[in-house]
Amino acid sequence: MEATWQEQLRAVGLRVTRPRLSVLQVLAERPHADVDTIVTAAREVHPTLSPQAVYGVLQALVTGGLARRIEPAGAPALFELRVGDNHHHLVCRSCGAVADVDCTVGAAPCLTPSDTAGFVVDEAEVVFWGLCRDCRVGKPSETTKVPEHHDRGGVHE
Amino acid sequence: MEATWQEQLRAVGLRVTRPRLSVLQVLAERPHADVDTIVTAAREVHPTLSPQAVYGVLQALVTGGLARRIEPAGAPALFELRVGDNHHHLVCRSCGAVADVDCTVGAAPCLTPSDTAGFVVDEAEVVFWGLCRDCRVGKPSETTKVPEHHDRGGVHE
DNA sequence: GTCCTTGATTTGACTCGATCAAGAAAACCG
DNA sequence: CGGTTTTCTTGATCGAGTCAAATCAAGGAC
């Protein structure tokens, strides 16, 4: 599997290094990992890996288009390898869990704003907020970040 | 205009204080202000206002449903008074300018994910990324945060 | 109008995510 | 197998945001 990583790294002009392969492997196993998770996991195969190295690797991967950075409001940045397909995310308000969601609508009416106010839009980002199954059944996993929730509007109409 | 602020504060069980009125007035003038902007602007009418007070005021307003917090990726949090209508935002990659965009689509197909992966969704958040008019015409306002831009997918299909 | 209780603000320290910079190490080319 | 360039390590630094104790003000009671 790492052979593919090597090719992909070279394809975007990046050198093939152990930290990069380690980070790529972690991201392949954990689709939405934050930096701390990546460092911890990657150290299983590369114990001397530093957090700053991971930041550097991730920035290189994102710049090269091999990874994508997502930043749910109020949470540290997460990284994923799924790039190219413009999929969206479900985020749990309680535990912060993230799940991918493919947009099943080809032409997305709501994603081409009628009044762009002079902006040239090149990307539309959608985040669905809610509660994951585990948190919903009364098991607020580990971190209960949003104990009380103020609803204001519901799901877009 | 402050009479309305007073009513609104009382309506959600909050005391009417100078910091709160100041912050509300600033938000009414600047629809998408960050904390620093609010502090600076509010000090024109309340010079001793502390940043922490603004944080407290904003949290109270958000909790009470009078304000909404938006956090564009990579930028400090912004606050706005438009609540209740689930409108979306255009964000400039270069200068960070934010503009409101009303969703013209009543039923939003793309905003009800087909596979919710066990999540109970209560809000859909949409952010349109692009360049504002000023930054597009070669005047990258002040902070050029994203000099080179890697496009990866365009506007959702 | 004044007092009192509760809630809000001030002040200061502190946490956490992320970035920057200089030197050491490694990857790739020939 | 060197040489050059990129990348990683190490350590300091920054900024947004939070926490906690003490002070202060708002608003109802008297």
Interface membership of B114 toward A (CB under 8 Å):
yes
Greatest C-alpha distance within chain B: 52
Nearest partner of A64 among A79, A51, A78, A75, judged by Cα = A79
Interface membership of B15 toward A (CB under 8 Å):
no
Number of CB pairs, chain A paired with chain B, less than 8 A apart: 215
Q: B129: which 2 tokens? A: 């990324």
Separation of alpha carbons A36 and A27, rounded Å? 12
Interface membership of B18 toward A (CB under 8 Å):
no
Q: What is the pLDDT of residues A44-87, one digit of tens each?
A: 999 999 999 999 999 999 999 999 999 999 999 999 998 877 78
Annotated binding-site residue? B132: yes
Separation of alpha carbons A3 and A91, rounded Å? 32
Contact A152 B104 (CB under 8 A): no
Q: Which of A108, A127, A131 sits opposite B120 (nearest CB)?
A: A131
Separation of alpha carbons B23 and B30, rounded Å? 10
Annotated binding-site residue? A103: no
Please give the backbone phi and psi of residue B68, each rounded to the nearest 5 degrees, phi first: -130, 140
On chain B, the residues whose CB falls within 8 A of the CB of A103 are: 110, 113, 156-157
- Give contacts of B 41-60 with A, CB under 8 A: none
Separation of alpha carbons A39 and A25, rounded Å? 12
Separation of alpha carbons A40 and A107, rounded Å? 41
Lowest mean pLDDT among A38-47, A69-78, A110-119, B61-70: A110-119
Q: What is the pLDDT of residues B94-143, one digit of tens each?
A: 999 999 988 655 445 456 666 788 898 888 888 999 999 988 876 544 44
Closest chain B residue to A82, measured at CA: B152
Q: Which domains does chain B have, with CATH numbers?
A: 2-70 (1.10.10.10)
Residue type, A81: L
Annotated binding-site residue? A95: yes
**pLDDT at res. B124:** 86
CA of B52 to C1' of D19 (A): 11
Using the predicted structure, report yes or no on whether residue B157 has a pLDDT greater than 90. no
Query: What does the radius of gyration of chain A's CA atoms come to, in whole angstroms?
Result: 18
Interface membership of A139 toward B (CB under 8 Å):
no
Separation of alpha carbons B112 and A50, rounded Å? 40
Q: Which of B63, B86, B129 sits opposite A156 (nearest CB)?
A: B86
Could you tell me the pTM of the whole model? 0.83
Nearest partner of B127 among A33, A35, A94, A71, judged by Cα = A71
CA of B50 to C1' of C11 (A): 9
Identify the band that residue B155 occupies on the pLDDT scale cut at 50, 70 and 90: low
Nearest nt to A14, CA vs C1'?
D6
Q: What is the pLDDT of residues B10-61, one digit of tens each?
A: 999 999 999 999 999 999 999 999 999 999 999 999 999 999 999 999 999 9
List all residues 6 or more positions away from A4 whose beta carbon is below 8 Å from its beta carbon: none
